[in-house]
Amino acid sequence: MAPDDTVLLTERMRLRSFRVEDLDALWAIQRDPQTMHWYPHPFARGESEAWIQRNIERHERDGHGLWATELLEDGRFAGSCGLALQQVDGESELEAGWMFDRSLWNRGLATEAGRACRDLAFGPMGRTRLISLVRPDNVASCRVAEKLGMTVEKETMHARLRHHVYAMTPVDVEA
């Protein structure tokens, strides 16, 4: 049995540290052209492997990163959601990010996991600002950011692609 590496629990999901054994499930998501439409390209297996390693290292170093998400009902690997430091226009920013298996889209999972990450950032982590980098044509992710309480602050280039910088402070969290 795997160690209890749970970071957050939501009503329907468990967010936990990535494991090397997650590679096949993550790569199935990251090689899907529809899922990766807003990235420069679908990932090769090695890119998914590097993603996992990078997030394991982030979690160990920073206490946060992107985490694996599992459905509580059946333990199925659902995708990734979490908090990671990003460089935006020369500033270090804490970003909430999400990516879910396409078969699970339109079920509110990204919003549910994103809210848990937002609450962690503004609660126990004591952060005063949270962003999300979203491609302007990624309407679903724009909507998730808005449901979290974020608004578009500006546009920037990230990974050589134009992104909205959605931002919020604890004041923006809905009561």
Write out pLDDT tens, residues 106-148: 999 999 999 999 999 999 999 999 999 999 999 999 999 999 9
Residues whose CB is less than 8 angstroms from the CB of residue 43 and which lie 6 or more positions away in sequence, other chains included = 27, 30, 31, 36, 51
Handedness of CA 64, 162, 88, 48 (dihedral sign): positive
Whole-number Å distance between alpha carbons of 156 and 118: 22
Does the pLDDT value for residue 1 go beyond 50? no
Question: How high does pLDDT run on average in the chain?
Answer: 94
Q: At 23, which helix (H) or strand (E)? A: helix 23-30
Fold of 6-128: Aminopeptidase (3.40.630)
Given a contact cutoff of 8 angstroms between Cβ atoms, the answer to whether 78 and 70 are in contact is yes
Write out pLDDT tens, residues 30-87: 999 999 998 889 999 999 999 999 999 999 999 899 999 999 999 999 999 999 999 9
Supply the pLDDT for residue 3.
Answer: 52
Does the pLDDT value for residue 175 go beyond 50? no
**Residue among 40, 35, 94, 99 at smallest CA distance from 67:** 99
Whole-number Å distance between alpha carbons of 165 and 133: 5
Q: pTM score, two decimals?
A: 0.92
DSSP state of 49: H
Whole-number Å distance between alpha carbons of 161 and 163: 6
